Amino acid sequence: MEQTCSKRQLFAVLIFGFVIAAFGGWLYEEACVYLIYHKIYNRGMLHLTLCPIYGFGAWILYLLLHKVRNSVLFFLLSTAIASAFEYGCALLLEHFLHRSYWTYSGWPLSVHDRISLVSSLIFGLLAVLFAKGILPKLTSAVKRGNATKSAVAAGCILSVIITDFVIVLCGMD
């Protein structure tokens, strides 16, 4: 996102990037469940095929580390930060929503079944892919398009995500 963006373009990149990371996280979660348990199970907390923790995590890592140019250092720092973030999110979700949304029970090198070295390394790789691969292409695509249309589309997407989140929080399945 080094390229200068208008406010509308920046809004669109933030929302589209969030959705890409959240959907990619949902795909990763589904693949893990299928490989381990041989079944399909919606791993997201929303009705949408999104895992918001991946969207927030991708942006937090990007904002903290965007000046790190060395991809290996970016990967190592992302792995460490993602581990702390995931562990903290697990505690917060368990405390406030009284549910455990994931477990690493049986995974190698897990800590209280909330994080695992294997998953942390995968998150580090995903962070590099997002920051060094997806985000520059997304930013270029948004800059080439119509800023107003991109912002309106991003606003509509954000409205749908917020609505789904409110429905989940209120228990209005």
Q: How is residue 57 written in tokens? A: 């995590």
Per-residue burial over 21-49, b if 16 or more Cβ lie within 10 Å, else e, is bbbbbbebbbebbeeeeeeeeebbbbebe
- Write the pLDDT tens digit of every residue in 120-158: 999 999 999 999 999 999 999 999 999 999 999 999 999
Helix pair 52-65, 7-37: axis angle to 10 deg: 120
Q: Based on the structure, what is the number of domains in the chain? A: 1
Confidence of residue 1 (pLDDT cuts 50, 70, 90): low
pTM of the model: 0.86
Is residue 146 in a domain? yes
Do the beta carbons of residue 53 and residue 61 sit within 8 Å? Answer: no
Give the HSE-up count for residue 56: Cα atoms under 13 Å, Cβ half-sphere. 7
Confidence of residue 163 (pLDDT cuts 50, 70, 90): very high
Q: What pLDDT is stored for residue 101 in this prediction?
A: 77
Is residue 12 in a domain? yes
Distance CA 122, CA 66 (A): 19
Range of the domain at 65: 7-170
Is residue 2 in a domain? no
Report the percent of the chain where pLDDT is more than 70.
96
Q: What pLDDT is stored for residue 134 in this prediction?
A: 97
Is residue 1 in a domain? no
